[in-house]
Amino acid sequence: MTTQEVLDQYGRCVIGNYGRLPVVITRASGSQMWDLDGKRYLDLFPGWGCSLLGHCHPRVVEAIREQAGRIIHVDNTFYTVEQGRLAEIISERSFGGKCFFCNSGAEANEAAIKLARKHAGPGRYKIITMERSFHGRTFGAMSATAQSKTQQGFDPLVPGFVYVPFNNIDAVAKAITNETAAIMLEPIQGEGGVNVPDDNYLASLRELCDEHNLLLIFDEVQTGCGRTGTWFGYQNWGVEPDIMTLAKALGGGAPIGAMVAKPDVAKTLTVGSHASTFGANPLVVAAAIAMFETIEQENLLERVKQISDYIMAKARTLAQQFGFVEQVRGKGLMIGIELSLPGAPIVAAALERGLRVNCTQSTILRLLPAMTITEAEVDEAFDILAVAMQETESKLVSS
């Protein structure tokens, strides 16, 4: 099939709810992928953050192959060795919480929202979330997401979400009432623009939660599983949540989500109160275990720190070179380059030259590179990005 034939087939048969780039990907490895015509792309945004180990890490591939040969799906009527092992791995590396497994970030957040409401008891159902947040597309997660573009056309939303500006502790304090059950946020906002909070913000939220008997929920779907150089984003600030949600990188590219709750909170989810048929299916769990083992065996948390410094330095060079680069920010392998002009033409020009980056909030280039990316790949990627920026600037000047 040709690229055009695939695009036409999608036009006829696939719902058009994604803004897709006109490229058909056929295979990938590490930080590189190839399209139907054999063209190679460097990928600085692998799998929207799901492929933190890079595409098709050999250890993950092998774990999936081995597991598929034994058993693919076991429903949650039974126990499996694999699910228990993964829960222990997460629990030991976080805050000793207990896990509920599902298939995506939105589902993990749904579970957190339900647990927070049930735990708080009658009359306390409100959850404070942050402007520019992103928690997913299902009804609860979408209602928690304080961005009107995500909610447009779907009224009425799930009631009980109260939105405040991110990184503003006074706004949170003012929003708390005797109906409040929890505060929910991403430790670093991803889709909202790679917004890193002030150093004392999360600790102040923890204090407010303790004072008012509220649950603190961290959505670590994007920041979790090593992305920021610690196992979980909150560990950068030493502030423990009561509930944390995971997905994206958790499965090394396989679809799995998790909600992790302190044992005292977790016990509210009694038999029959919540479920997911596919949750922690052995196939995806094998991939997730391989993901954690690979990070440990290949010392990749350390690598995040080194390669992050290298990428940040490259990004700052762009800021010196181009007046329209306003700010470079981020933590670990979550990097934002804020522009004073729309980022879409730069994304398109980079893609044309074989580089994939993302743009969020119209003007913020977002990079979520793999832990395994090499310095040589970073060099090549930033050479392409500089050319794409130069070209975009020249077009603006001449128009």
- Catalogue the active-site residues: 134, 219, 248
The alpha-helical segments, DSSP class H, found in 122-177 are: 139-144, 148-151, 169-175
Among 41, 45, 95, 134, binds ligand PLP (CB under 6 A): 134
Q: Count Cβ neighbours within 10 Å for each residue of 336-345 and write b for 16 or more, e otherwise.
A: bbbbebebeb
Q: Scanning residues 136 to 165, which ones bind ligand PLP (CB under 6 A)? A: 136
Among 55, 57, 117, 135, binds ligand PLP (CB under 6 A): 135
The residues, any chain, with a CB within 8 Å of residue 99's CB and separated by 6 or more, are 86, 87, 90, 91, 258, 259, 260
Rounded Cα–Cα distance for residues 69 and 61 (Å): 13
Task: Pick the closest to residue 135 from 185, 193, 83 (CA basis).
Answer: 185
CB of 379 to ligand PLP, least distance (A): 28
For residues 134 and 322, which CB has a smaller minimum distance to ligand PLP in the complex? Answer: 134
Among 219, 240, 242, 338, binds ligand PLP (CB under 6 A): 219
CB of 275 to ligand PLP, least distance (A): 17
The span of 1-9, 68-76, 134-142, 382-390 binding ligand PLP (CB under 6 A) equals 134-142
Q: Scanning residues 94 to 113, which ones bind ligand PLP (CB under 6 A)? A: 104-106, 109
Among 110, 186, 242, 338, binds ligand PLP (CB under 6 A): 186
Alpha-carbon torsion angle 191, 46, 334, 194, nearest 10: -20
CB of 109 to ligand PLP, least distance (A): 6
CB of 249 to ligand PLP, least distance (A): 11
Cα distances (Å, whole numbers) of residue 208 to 97, 175, 306, 308: 21, 11, 35, 32
Binding to ligand PLP by residue 191, rule CB under 6 A? yes
Among 94, 222, 281, 363, binds ligand PLP (CB under 6 A): 222
DSSP letters spanning 239-267 = ---SEEEE-GGGGTTS--EEEEE-HHHHT
- What would the two tokens of residue 355 be? 């580089």
Q: Count Cβ neighbours within 10 Å for each residue of 120-136 and write b for 16 or more, e otherwise.
A: beeebbbbbbbebbbbb
User: What is the phi/psi pair of residue 26, to 5°?
Assistant: -115, -30
Stretch 162-181: interaction string toward ligand PLP, x if CB under 6 A = --------------------
CB of 256 to ligand PLP, least distance (A): 10
CB of 250 to ligand PLP, least distance (A): 10
Q: Scanning residues 278 to 307, which ones bind ligand PLP (CB under 6 A)? A: none
CB of 355 to ligand PLP, least distance (A): 21
Rounded Cα–Cα distance for residues 249 and 46 (Å): 10
Rounded Cα–Cα distance for residues 236 and 308 (Å): 15
Strand partners, 55: 30
* Residue whose CB is nearest to ligand PLP in the complex, by number: 105
For residues 110 and 377, which CB has a smaller minimum distance to ligand PLP in the complex? Answer: 110
Peptide bond into 156 cis (omega under 30): yes
Stretch 240-279: interaction string toward ligand PLP, x if CB under 6 A = -------x--------------------------------
Number of residues that bind ligand PLP (CB under 6 A): 14
- Any idea what the Cα angle at residue 195 is, between residues 188 and 307, rounded to 5°? 70
The span of 65-73, 94-102, 131-139, 325-333 binding ligand PLP (CB under 6 A) equals 131-139
For residues 124 and 227, which CB has a smaller minimum distance to ligand PLP in the complex? Answer: 227
For residues 216 and 389, which CB has a smaller minimum distance to ligand PLP in the complex? Answer: 216
Which residues sit at the interface with ligand PLP, rule CB under 6 A? 104-106, 109, 134-136, 186, 190-191, 219, 221-222, 247
